[in-house]
């Protein structure tokens, strides 16, 4: 039995475009909210949690609706087509809403003339990254504040600029937003439209892989799907470096061109998906392979009609434990992904694009080996190894500060990328292993409900801790990831099953 890599890669373009979107969203939106609207980490985290709140009910809903879809194009394809087109339009629209706020605060942009003089006159007080409340005119004279340099003689951002100018500019943005909140309201409204559009097709897009892949090969197939997703993410990070989205002097840049390029990439991936994927044909081939290899996967007629699958007590307990593990490691991982762009510039003085690119590159290298390891040692053991690696990386990162050797940061993010790849490749197949052919979309919804519930809570919860002490981000992430080690240790079902002799030898 061999995996049809070409088939999986073509199906993976749907996940490619989803990942490209979320990479841009998770890195740019927090910067817009804090740099341009001046929101605190807690409030910014609450806004970042909106997509997860929507996903809590929309992903299971649209997963189930796609299970019941009778379109000639297949169960999943119509959702992918319509959802992507709507999301692209709304996503670009967000950049125009952002530009409206930018017009109000561009006088204090890093490269604007007399920016620091304006900040000195307009800002009464602000809070530094270390939690110190600074009363502007008690701390500085006008000349002292205006004399703070962005870069030192080595071309690095100075600690004074990071500690005082950046938060004072955010305080100015917060004051401007409070005086005219209409711009923020419009931005949030367009953001909601974007998130709703994305939520309509995420479950159907992910459910398509198990629809066209027999059960024993799903970890391998999921490694390819995740590889496609990582490729989408790393392209966005590279574009971020090209556009300079992580540069200090671009803190108040317009993102319209960047968003348009991301939208173009999403549309190109959609075209490739539509041209190369004939969903009904691929599903039929999977059903034929299932019968050929004697795999108990195809549901009986009654199950197919009802889309139900009754679990044994042991299977149900394992499903709950798997979903709890998913929620815990996502609470740790998403806290970092949703806040790292702000953390990197505030605490580490690093371009977040570079370190995230390194982590994503490490994940790309590990996706296929992670699937192969699961085939040999089992998904559960492979996931546990990934949890230990990811948790260890976050623990080491909790000690990192401005001035740390770049090599040390690179090693930490390589570990994080490898650990996350090992977890991510094998967790979703464990959930759908417990499903039948007629309810894969529903079980996909279960998986995303767990991950989205976690991602609903964690931006706000980590934001509260960061408002108290910004360097608590990686401590929080470490605790959450290692908590998943406990729940995963008791899982008994959902692992990959060895192939019988007949199945292994069949060609």
290-329: pLDDT as tens digits: 787 777 544 444 444 444 557 788 888 888 999 999 999 9
- Dist CA 366 CA 370 (whole Å): 6
The per-residue pLDDT for 437 is 56
Q: Kindly report the pTM of this predicted structure.
A: 0.74
Paired sense of beta strands 125-127 and 133-135, if any: antiparallel
Give the Cα-Cα-Cα angle 219, 316, 314 (nearest 5 degrees): 95
- Dist CA 282 CA 85 (whole Å): 24
Residues 6 or more apart in contact with residue 281 via CB below 8 angstroms:
none
Residues 6 or more apart in contact with residue 421 via CB below 8 angstroms:
226, 230, 362, 363, 364, 366, 367, 370, 386
Q: What is the pLDDT along the chain (507 residues), one digit of tens a residue?
A: 688 888 899 999 999 999 999 989 988 998 999 999 999 878 887 887 787 788 777 877 888 888 888 888 989 999 999 999 999 999 999 999 999 999 999 999 998 889 999 999 999 998 887 778 999 999 999 999 999 998 888 788 888 898 899 999 999 999 999 999 999 999 999 999 999 999 899 888 888 888 888 877 777 787 788 789 888 988 998 999 899 888 878 889 999 999 999 999 999 999 999 999 999 999 888 888 778 777 754 444 444 444 455 778 888 888 899 999 999 999 999 888 777 777 777 777 777 777 778 888 888 888 788 878 887 888 889 999 999 999 999 999 888 877 777 788 889 989 999 999 899 888 888 887 877 656 776 787 788 788 878 878 887 788 888 887 878 889 999 999 999 999 999 988 877 654 444 444 333
Q: What pLDDT digit, counting tens, does each position of 275-285 carry?
A: 999 999 998 88
The strand pairing partners of 127, in sequence order, are: 133
Q: Which CATH architecture best describes the domain 5-103+183-287+311-496?
A: Up-down Bundle (1.20)
Q: What is the DSSP letter of 131?
A: S
């Amino acid at each position: 039995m061999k995996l049809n890599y070409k088939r999986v890669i073509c199906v993976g373009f749907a996940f490619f475009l989803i990942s490209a979107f979320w990479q841009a969203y998770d890195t740019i939106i927090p910067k817009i909210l804090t740099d341009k609207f001046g929101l605190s980490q807690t409030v910014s985290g609450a806004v970042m949690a909106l997509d997860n709140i929507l996903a809590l009910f929309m992903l299971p809903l649209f997963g189930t609706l796609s299970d019941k879809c009778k379109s000639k194009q297949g169960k999943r394809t119509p959702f992918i087509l319509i959802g992507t087109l709507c999301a692209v339009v709304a996503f670009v629209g967000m950049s125009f809403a952002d530009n409206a706020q930018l017009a109000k605060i561009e006088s204090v942009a890093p490269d604007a003339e007399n920016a620091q003089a304006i900040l000195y006159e307009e800002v009464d007080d602000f809070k530094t990254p270390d939690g110190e409340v600074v009363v502007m005119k008690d701390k500085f004279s006008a000349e002292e504040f205006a004399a703070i340099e962005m870069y030192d003689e080595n071309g690095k951002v100075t600690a004074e600029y990071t500690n005082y100018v950046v938060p004072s500019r955010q305080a100015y943005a917060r004051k401007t937003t409070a005086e005219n909140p209409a711009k923020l309201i419009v931005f949030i409204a367009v953001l909601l439209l974007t998130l709703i559009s994305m939520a309509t097709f995420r479950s159907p897009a992910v459910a398509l892989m198990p629809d066209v892949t027999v059960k024993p090969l799903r970890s391998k197939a999921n490694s390819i799907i995740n590889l496609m997703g990582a490729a989408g993410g790393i392209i966005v990070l590279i574009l971020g470096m090209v556009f300079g989205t992580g540069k200090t002097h671009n803190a108040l840049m317009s993102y319209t061109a960047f968003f348009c390029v991301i939208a173009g990439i999403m549309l190109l991936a959609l075209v490739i998906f539509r041209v190369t994927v004939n969903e009904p044909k691929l599903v039929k081939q999977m059903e034929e392979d299932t019968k050929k290899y004697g795999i108990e996967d195809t549901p009986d007629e009654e199950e197919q009609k009802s889309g139900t699958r009754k679990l044994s007590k042991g299977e149900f307990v394992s499903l709950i434990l798997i979903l709890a593990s998913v929620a815990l490691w996502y609470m740790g991982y998403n806290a970092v992904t949703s806040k790292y762009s702000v953390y990197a510039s505030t605490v580490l003085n690093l371009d977040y694009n570079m370190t995230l690119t390194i982590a994503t590159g490490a994940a790309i290298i590990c996706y296929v080996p992670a699937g192969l390891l699961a085939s040999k040692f089992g998904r559960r053991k492979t996931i546990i190894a990934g949890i230990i690696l990811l948790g260890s990386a976050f623990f080491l990162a909790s000690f990192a500060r401005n001035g740390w050797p770049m090599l040390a940061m690179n090693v930490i993010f390589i570990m994080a990328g490898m650990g996350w790849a090992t977890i991510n490749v094998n967790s979703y197949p464990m959930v759908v292993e417990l499903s039948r052919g007629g309810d894969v979309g529903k079980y996909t919804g279960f998986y995303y409900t767990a991950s989205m519930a976690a991602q609903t809570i964690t931006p706000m919860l980590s934001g509260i801790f960061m408002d108290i002490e910004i360097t608590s981000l990686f401590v929080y992430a470490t605790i959450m990831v290692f908590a998943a080690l406990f729940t995963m240790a008791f899982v008994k079902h959902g692992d990959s099953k060895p192939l019988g002799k007949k199945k292994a030898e069949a060609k």
